[in-house]
Structure 1
Amino acid sequence: MSNSSLAFVFPGQGSQKIGMLSDAAEAFPIIKDVFAEASDALDYDMWDLIQNGEQDAINLTEKTQPILMTSSVALWNVWKQENGAMPAVMAGHSLGEFTALVCAGSLAFSDALKLVRARGQFMQSAVPVGIGAMAAIIGVDDQAIVDICADVAGDECVQAVNFNSPGQVVIAGHAGAVDRAIVKLKEAGAKRAMPLPVSAPFHTDLMRPAGEKLAVELENIAINTPAIPVIHNVHAQIEADPAKIKGLLIEQIYSPVKWTSCVQTMVSQGTELLIECGPGKVLSGLAKRIHKPLTASAIEQPDTLRQQVADLSA
């Protein structure tokens, strides 16, 4: 039975680190089973890579995307195995939206793994390494960021691409245009404007070729109506129609991630507890900034996961 005040969220790129989920795997053997399934689907030992590999290797987007999806799906399987309460709604940040659809029963795990690996390759090939950049901007009004990006773009591209929480927005585009925007945003009072260690300018118009290639991949993939409603990044609304979900997954590659709005939609539907299912605590941290009364928790660690299961069944 679902808990009407519970939402699950799934992280996107940036939460990966060597050694992640090692404690969880010791406590819950099902974690390694899920990684074995993913490794079989993609023909490399994913668990060995995230435990013993190099950070540079897991930061390559075609590796990062399947790794993070597998980590989140593994923790979701643990949650179900421990008889955790079912959420009333789900969402994922960028890549995490694909993970949410897997956990909601809309997309088969093996299909999704191949899809996000291809998505990573398409996103990387759309803009050669070194041409694009992303930067996090703290402390400037959302609309002011949008306007400054438009002012400095010129013949290049720079856009606000992740609306992560009020006062925290990521911009992306051509490296030179991003640099120009950083200068102007600092003049406009940005507390911080820092380049991000990513390999391509995600969620910009420069990703339209990647969207076209993803559309071809999606033609051969079955999508079902999610058993648990999923809120989508593009418009921060729930979509049940599989054909429209495919369209949103394509559009998402070159559209801003409206994360603040996604969380506000959850709150409007009665969410009081938000659980981050995956490595790290990025989204649970953002949740409190978006809506202070929200309770937010991350379940990467076994003791936290068990405690949350117990609290919700009490």
Structure 2
Amino acid sequence: MDEATGPGSAIVFPGMSPCRFADFGKFLLLNPFARRLTAEAGDRLGYPLIDRFRDAEGDYSEYAQVGFMLTCVALAEWAEQEYGISPDYCTGPSFGEKPASVYAGSLTFSDAVWMTAELARCLTEFFATEYTDVVTHSFVRTPEDKLDEVLAELAARGEWHDISCYIDHDFYMVSLRERNLDWLKDAVRGMGGLSLYTMRPPLHSRAFGALRRKVEDEVIGDLRFHDPLLPIIADQDGSILRSGEQVRTMLLDSIVKPLNWLQVVSSLEQLGVRKLWVAGPDTLFGRVRATTSRFEVVTVNPRLALHPRRRGTGPSHVS
């Protein structure tokens, strides 16, 4: 049985990292799948996506988000043609929920384009006046027991915090007031950890219930979600989603529930998955030990699609 089409594989759409047009603009301009989807996106949005993305400021603009989502979908379609992939399951941590919903057949691409742009607008409007002093900080090499002690100390001081992401056994993202950020960085350093980056606006916190309601009322509530043709593994708890309403709930719950990648990889492993195709510009989820220690990981990124290997040799693997 061909390894690309055999059982026990899943496609992963990565979370969005900071990006600008230079990161994958060439892919959008040259790849035939991306060019077709870019034209469809422009028709739905009413403006030329490439021009807006090229001129956008910041790493998470509306245009960058639509471009990232589009790139992930285009790469998955390209990999189907180039390598004959036919995964058994689909998942998408954090931002990756959006292209996963499209690829699995739960949401049309056109609706996903509109949803992505409108979600970007909602986040900008909400965090312009609410939780303006909250950020999400990521760090690694932090044992769970020591992190618990640090967070307990923060709580004892009456300072709010929330764990937003469980990425690996020693890799976390914590949301907190910006005035406590330097204190947290010092604490991470003190337990032998390494701070990575700080995100603004923050994400995945129980405190953002008002944002969930805004998104449901203004964006997701009226969209039509179909039962997925490919089972989706929810990024909050690793559950298997088989209905459109479950997919809708996953997207909404992503605002108020932490991402738990450990639950996702555990679920995939229990389902017999042994190979992951990571479709998108991934800097995290296909690389952490929780992933690479369990699966054969194959990256499908813009650079590969622009410079494919000789047919039959297969794409590169994460070591």
Aligned to 1:84: 84
Q: CA deviation at 1:230?
A: 0.8
Give the aligned residue type for 2:258: P
Structure 2 residue identity aligned to 1:5:
G
* Mapping of residues 1-314 of structure 1, within 5 Å: 3-14=6-17, 16-22=19-25, 24=27, 28-50=31-53, 52-53=54-55, 56-60=57-61, 62-82=62-82, 84-128=84-128, 131-142=133-144, 144-146=146-148, 148-153=150-155, 154-187=157-190, 189-196=191-198, 198-216=199-217, 217-286=219-288, 288-300=289-301, 301-302=303-304, 306=308, 310=312
Q: Is the 8 A contact 1:106 1:224 kept in 2?
A: yes
Assess if the C-alpha contact under 8 Å between 1:157 and 1:174 holds in 2: yes
Q: Sort the Cα spacing of 1:113 and 1:167 in 2 relative to 1 into closer, same or farther, 3 A.
A: same
Q: Structure 1 stretches (4+) deviating beyond 6 angstroms?
A: none
Give 1:215 deviation, angstroms.
Answer: 1.5
CA RMSD of aligned residues (A): 2.8
In structure 1, the gaps of 5 or more residues are: none
Give the letter aligned to residue 40 of structure 1: D
Note if contact 1:2-1:87 (Cα within 8 Å) is conserved in structure 2: yes
C-alpha separation between the residues in 1 aligned to 2:167 and 2:313? 28
Single out whichever of 107-116 and 87-96 deviates more from structure 2: 107-116
TM-score, normalised on structure 2? 0.84
TM-score, normalised by the number of residues in structure 1: 0.86
Deviation string, structure 1 residues 9-47 (Cα, Å, up to 9, x no partner): 112221524323456457632211111211222233323
Match of 2:226, SS state, is: coil
Q: Give the drift of 1:126.
A: 2.9
Amino acid at match of 2:161: V
Alignment coverage as a number of residue pairs? 307
Q: Secondary structure at the match of 1:12?
A: coil
Structure 1 66/16 Cα, relative in aligned 2: closer, same or farther at 3 Å? same
Choose 174-183 or 109-118, whichever is displaced more: 174-183
Identity within the alignment, %: 19
Deviation per residue, 1:136-167 (Å, 9 max, x gap):
12111235435533541455432111111221
Extract unaligned runs of 5+ from structure 2.
315-319
Partner Cα distance (1:295, 1:97) in 2? 22
Q: Is the 8 A contact 2:134 2:175 kept in 1?
A: yes
